[in-house]
Amino acid sequence: MNGAGGAELLYLYALVRADEAMRALEGDAPNGIGEQRVHAIAECDLAAIVGPVPAAEFEEAPLNASLSNIDWLAPRAAAHQHVNALVSERTSASLPLSFGTVFRSEDSLRGLLRARATELIERLDAVRGCSEWVVTVSRDSERAEAALAEHDPELARARTELEASSPGRRYLLERQMSELRRRALRVADAEATREIGEAASRTARRMYAEPLVAAAESGAQLIARSSALVDRAAESQFWDALEDVGARWRARGYDVERSGPWPPYRFGGTTARGVVA
């Protein structure tokens, strides 16, 4: 199978209940990394969806060395997601694994499934019937400031005063004005985050506030990012709620985007205790 004939590792894509493994792989069983066929290994009511990968690439040292190489990562990450997307669509619940989870042998994988079966089945039950969505709120500072200038009474007053001022006072007033504007933006950011979060929470089963990664300063400023676990049956309500609140905030210079449906990468790996409701 492996043209290079090198040593192989067992790559673990997802876990499902054993009685759903057939359904996950029926028909056109998805191909995984390196176009290798995936198959199921069943143990203790669980089934692991696995496929072979070359050890030369997925041993710890080469794997970590390759991760920041986008040309290496992109097709493999896409294959990981492709398998997980199909498995998730075809089953009532699946647990996607983190990228790069490999085993040296089928025996060690079986041992792990036996040792952690109870906990893993609980995790599966916690995401049954659900998909994961990522909700991102960003601020277009130019639009947001324009909206504030129009609607914020304090800023409007400051502007009138500024326009009527002598050149000597102008500098001071301009500085006061930019401080006012900064403060008003912070208040609006917090309000947008809260309102949009509340709108998402109304239909989501669970929410998780994602950490923000400092983005390069460009036009759009990332304000908030959360993961939401949403019942597949309630997806359209979830979208409607986001579109409603999104339309209101768009007028104020804030954009709401959603990405999904994802297999529950975030919630499959998070215990209920660790989740911010």
Partner 1 sequence: MTGEPHLIPGLGPEQHGLGSLLPGMAEGLHDNEFSLLELADRLLNRGVVIAGEATISVAGVDLVYLGLNVVLTAVENLRPENVPPRTG
State the residues that interact with partner 1 by CB under 8 A.
12, 15, 27-28, 35, 58-60, 63-64, 67-68, 70-71, 73-75, 77-78, 80-82, 85-86, 89-90, 95-105, 108-109, 111-112, 116, 120, 123, 132, 134, 213-216, 218, 257-262, 265-266, 268-269
Q: Give 95 or 155: the residue with its C-beta nearer to partner 1.
A: 95
Shortest spacing between CB 173 and partner 1, in angstroms: 34
Shortest spacing between CB 228 and partner 1, in angstroms: 13
Q: Give 71 or 163: the residue with its C-beta nearer to partner 1.
A: 71
Written as six digits, the tokens of 202 are 């109304």
- Write the CB contacts of 235 (distance below 8 Å, at least 6 apart in sequence): 131, 261
Sign of the CA dihedral 27, 33, 38, 41? negative
Taking the CA atoms of residue 48, residue 52, residue 56 and residue 62 in that order, the dihedral angle to the nearest 10 degrees is -40
Residue pair 104/9 in contact by the 8 Å Cβ criterion: yes
Q: Give 102 or 204: the residue with its C-beta nearer to partner 1.
A: 102
In one letter, which amino acid is 137? V
Q: Which of 85, 89, 87, 66 is nearest to 76 (CA)?
A: 66
Shortest spacing between CB 3 and partner 1, in angstroms: 15
Shortest spacing between CB 277 and partner 1, in angstroms: 19
Shortest spacing between CB 59 and partner 1, in angstroms: 7
Q: Give 39 or 159: the residue with its C-beta nearer to partner 1.
A: 39
For residue 156, count other CB atoms closer than 10 A to its CB: 13
Shortest spacing between CB 192 and partner 1, in angstroms: 19
Residue pair 168/157 in contact by the 8 Å Cβ criterion: no
Shortest spacing between CB 99 and partner 1, in angstroms: 4
Q: Give 47 or 155: the residue with its C-beta nearer to partner 1.
A: 47
Written as six digits, the tokens of 15 are 């876990």
CB-based burial of residue 139 (10 Å sphere; 0-12 exposed, 13-18 middle, 19+ buried)?
Answer: buried
- Helix (H, G, I), strand (E, B), or coil: what is residue 263? coil
Provide the terminal-to-terminal Cα distance of the chain, rounded to the nearest Å: 47
Q: Give 1 or 214: the residue with its C-beta nearer to partner 1.
A: 214
Shortest spacing between CB 229 and partner 1, in angstroms: 13
Q: Give 103 or 254: the residue with its C-beta nearer to partner 1.
A: 103
Residue pair 15/97 in contact by the 8 Å Cβ criterion: yes
* Distance, CA of 258 to CA of 96 (rounded, Å): 20
